[in-house]
Structure 1
């Protein structure tokens, strides 16, 4: 097999999918193994320290518990590193899944009269179905089609998700436990971001200025320290400083902590979570199609996008990532991870970039990251519950700020007015409506307009 050729038949692909020592390990040999292992270990350590607060924040933003994020990130990385198609990619919770999973928990969880267990079981079910679809897509060579999604829409939905994350985490930074409790309402909160923003502005007199201070401090430290050096775990230092302040000089300022919302964080991470189905109705069937489609779309597009970015960032001159094997690996991630107290995960752009910049060369970095993350979280669990919710909000706003890249916007703008218009449309529709509605409507408009334009050009010629 040449360095850029991959199997072209389903049987050949399946054989490759279950080949552990494939081209992803080509950069380690008997002469350099000690150096490579050391670099991969240090990269895994840096990413693990960065990933713990991010994973907790993502899980809570989705409506889940902090420990769900910890186990999801570690297990997804183990499965993805074993079966995925990229040398460098780091798997874990990502911002793109926040609106998808949050919508499911809002609809089937306590906010709508259900339970956390019912919502989580339903999430496991749709994630398994999505995983099976991804495996089939990888087996039959659908990986290449993920590259057909226009860059303008990819950048647009990234911006839209960033805006949604920043706005929906305002309540934590403002020191408000929840808008529903604040307003004394028992019914489900409707209206999404717009409604939540209206609720916030109607209750500005109830905000906690010390929570705002801690949120801004966390944001500034996380962003500033990483600018100094990639080897400084900015997010975990920011959480440590802010947590220390809240436990000492600010202990009597009414700051809401993680334990006030979620209680103690257990360190028995590996708990089997079976799939479950709500009472069968037409709406449930529609929701299954919706959430399965959303998980497949995010998994496919973000994993291929992250893998492509990783090859470019690492200046990979040898075998590139395999999109079909990446789909297969993503399918197993979506099947296995939710079954053990987790949720859907995919390739994480920021953590992958951090890993590469820290020296990662082989999939070993991902294994080290998963093991070190679980080890640190196990021993730190009793302290993680003392983190102020404002700090979690600050971390997520930092994540959101990193998702909006002016260089990518300028690149799309240079492609023409139509491409830039599609970027703006997607960026607005994703937070205003929902993830899948915004992206699918953008894709339909894009390809219809392109088809009509081509037809007109042919008729003129």
Structure 2
């Protein structure tokens, strides 16, 4: 693979960051532009169909509205494809952000005496601060440092997030509109592992078996149709099947639909949500630091990881992705997307892989995905509200199952007992505590132990 021409000065990087037709477009030539454009359009269409149910599911799992996921995925892809550093990466809502955003919305929203507008505005504020930090990091060449995060911790973090997603979707799969605690009060399943298990066990008596059936059916269809062919949009087929069943043969089974919780889904997607600072206090200041660090970490690590994976998957033997430009693009995504009725997004591993397998060659695929996604959602908005919540839960369980890869676990195991133990530690701590506590504590332990080993080797030599 050729070495990219990355400037060594901040001014040189800024000039490159605002260069639209750079090396990311090198596979689009006068000789192949018709074929390449068709391949990118086809890939964009496949990803757009797959992304709509996933984006809605991610948004609702975060405590946002379904349409927020649709607009966030489309906007993030346009901004990321314009200013990012990868030829192939698909940007949008990702599972790694679910626990981060869900905890913010729960803490500052209706559940704790606030309003959704205040919570969303606070999310916009911390996301914009994160975006500014990411832009500065890109300008000063910090992209390369994201690669220093150990793979054992990345895999453990991914497993932990998958477990968290699975646990937070019990409510939808079981057909329960809201969980009750032991005192009979409504409570969301948004806490740690022990909290979620306790709530689930205390609500077994009010589950809806037909809801479980739709959730399992959705999971099976989404899981196995894509294995038959990448051109079969498994999540869309699953969503359509579950929606049809709930509207016909299961119409009298009291299955909870999207509209029962969120009302009608509007198709006027573009609205401005300005940043809001809640009444300032020491706890708010701590939360600002916590959420900013979380967003920067997820954006930086996941986008670099996704870009690197994309180059390998596409057998890119030309110019590789630019990590500094990727940070810059991520910064703009985090500043602009939440402002227009969205939320933080980053590189999406599964959708990027789908896009490449479907034939994507240039950033055009991302633009096609965004346009087609908004177009389909605009005309389907009145039908999207009829989707069973169990279907959304099934899709997110499918996403969670795809995040845990046996091959990656085996690779970590071959690296030695220490690397494997760090993977297990991170995987357990993320759902038991919270995202940032689990990851940061793992990083601290990892580098302390590694430095201690290095000192011992020097002394022995």
Q: Taking structure 1 as the reference length, what is the TM-score of the superposition?
A: 0.98
Say yes or no: does 1:242 pair with 2:249: no
Paired residue for 1:81?
Answer: 81
Moved more, 73-82 or 194-203: 194-203
Distance in 2 separating the partners of 1:85 and 1:324:
7
Determine if contact 1:180/1:189 at 8 Å carries over to the other structure. no
Q: Return the alpha-carbon distance in structure 2 between the equivalents of residues 187 and 98 of structure 1.
A: 18
1:337 aligned residue: 337
In 1, the alpha carbon distance for the partners of 2:4 and 2:23 equals 10
Matched-pair contact (CA < 8 Å) for 1:104–1:119: yes
TM-superposition CA deviations, 1:396-452 (whole Å, max 9, x none): 000000000000000011000000000000000000000000000000000000011
The change in CA–CA distance for 1:417 and 1:297 in structure 2 (over 3 A counts) is same
Which residue does the alignment assign to 1:376? 376
Corresponding residue of 2:145: 145
The one-character-per-residue Cα deviations of 1:292-334 (angstroms, maximum 9, x if unpaired) are 0000000000000000000000000000000000000000000
**SS state of the match for residue 283, structure 1?**
helix
**Cα shift readout 1:148-201 (whole Å, capped 9, x = no counterpart):** 000000000000000000111011000001214996416787843322221211
The aligned residue for residue 280 of structure 1 is 280
| Counterpart for residue 457 of structure 1 | 457
The residue number in structure 1 matching 2:67 is 67
Contact 1:112 1:188 in 2 (8 A): no
CA contact (8 A) 1:218 1:238 kept: yes
Q: Establish whether residue 414 from structure 1 lines up as the match of residue 414 from structure 2.
A: yes
Counterpart CA distance in 2 for 1:283 and 1:115 is 18
Please list the CA deviations of residues 115-145 of structure 1 after superposition, one character each: whole Å capped at 9, or x if unmatched. Answer: 1000000000000000000000000000000
For 1:71 and 1:182, how far apart are their aligned partners in 2?
38
Mapped to 2, the partners of 1:21 and 1:203 lie a distance apart of 56
1:21 aligns with 2:33: no
* TM-fit CA distance, 1:32: 0.2
C-alpha distance in 2 between matches for 1:126 and 1:29: 41
Give the gaps of 5 or more residues in structure 1: none
Which residue in 1 is equivalent to 2:257? 257
On the 8 A contact 2:179/2:188 being kept in 1, the answer is no
* 2: CA distance, partners of 1:313 / 1:183: 52
Note if contact 1:168-1:193 (Cα within 8 Å) is conserved in structure 2.
no
Root mean square deviation of aligned Cα: 1.3
Q: Distance in 2 between matches of 1:194 and 1:116?
A: 27
Counterpart in the other structure of 1:131? 131
Distance in 2 (CA, whole Å) between partners of 1:325 and 1:157 is 25
Change (3 A) 1:132 1:456: same
Q: 1-side partners of 2:178 and 2:458: how far apart?
A: 57
Cα distance change on mapping 1:314 and 1:226 into 2, 3 Å: same
Shift in Å, 1:4: 2.2
TM-score with structure 2 length normalisation?
A: 0.98
What per-residue deviation string (whole Å, max 9, x for no partner) do you get for residues 16-60 of structure 1?
000000000000111000000000000000000000000000000
Distance 1:186 1:86 in 2: 45
The alignment covers a number of residue pairs equal to 460
Question: 1:66 and 1:428 mapped to 2: Cα distance?
Answer: 30
**CA–CA distance in 2 between the matches of 1:65 and 1:32?**
41
> Could you say which residue in structure 1 is the equivalent of 2:168?
168
What is the alpha-carbon distance in structure 1 between the residues aligned to residue 127 and residue 306 of structure 2? 20
Aligned partners of 2:71 and 2:130: how far apart in 1?
Answer: 20
Deviations 1:83-115 (CA, angstroms, capped at 9, x unpaired): 000000000000000000001011101111111
Q: Confirm or deny: 8 A CA contact 2:130 2:292 kept in the other structure.
A: yes
Partner of 1:346: 346
Displacement of 1:217: 0.2
Alpha carbons of 1:182 and 1:266: their partners in 2 closer, same or farther (altered >3 Å)? farther
Structure 1 residues 386 and 134, CA gap change in structure 2 (3 angstroms): same
The 5 Å alignment of 1:371-410 reads: 371-410=371-410
Report the secondary structure of 2:425's partner residue. helix
> Is the 2:56–2:68 contact (alpha carbons within 8 Å) kept by the matching residues of 1?
yes
Alpha-carbon distance between aligned partners in 1 of 2:130 and 2:235, rounded to the nearest angstrom:
32
> Aligned equivalents of 1:423 and 1:432: distance in 2?
14
Are 1:217 and 2:217 counterparts? yes
Structure-2 separation of matches of 1:231 and 1:182: 47
Per-residue CA deviation, residues 372-405 of structure 1 (Å, 9 max, x unaligned), is: 0000000000000000000000000000000000
Structure 2's unaligned 5+ residue stretches are none
Q: Summarize the Cα distance change of 1:421–1:336 in structure 2 as closer, same or farther, 3 Å threshold.
A: same
